Structures are given as structure tokens and as C-alpha cells.
Amino acid sequence: MPEISRFYGIVIRMFFDDHQPPHFHAQYGGREVIVHIDTLAVIAGALPPRALGLVMEWAALHRDELKSDWNKAKDLKPLEKIDPLP
């Protein structure tokens, strides 16, 4: 699963040719959450509240880039790295 961003110990990844709905995976401290790109709803998993807040802040800033990477992943094309939170 390609890594598309990393910040504050949080790793953001996306699978190639993954199931719908469009989503990404965020990992932190041995835990994982799956987040719907369009709604930013948590589909599965859990992170500590502070880490989840950072993931949501990052995702809101980069939603268009996440959608673009999702489409590339569906077409089995290389994904673009997305800037981390400052």
C-alpha cells in the first residue's frame, strides 16, 4: 500500500484498485482508521482523538489531491505524494 503522506507520526496510505467508497488509510501508534474522502466520515477503525483530529484537518486541506490519487489508484497508476501538515 503506497504511502502518500506522513506527519506527526501519522502515516497516510492508499491501496491500488481498492473497494468503494473512495477512502484512505491513516495509521498511528499501531492503530488504523479508514476515512471516506468525500464525507471525511470514519468508515472503520479508530485513532486517539488528537491524531484523528490532525488526520481530518489534513484531509480537509487536501481533499482534491486525495480524490486525484484515488482515481490514479483505481487505474493502477503511480500516486502523488501529498504535503504533510506544517
Among residues 78, 37, 72, the alpha carbon closest in space to that of 58 is found at 37
Residue 1 has pLDDT above 90, yes or no: no
Q: What would the pLDDT profile of 23-77 be if each residue is shown by its tens digit?
A: 999 999 999 999 999 999 999 999 999 999 999 999 999 999 999 999 999 999 9
The pLDDT score that the predictor gives to residue 11 is 98
The domain ranges of the chain are 3-74
Q: Can you give the pLDDT at residue 86?
A: 87
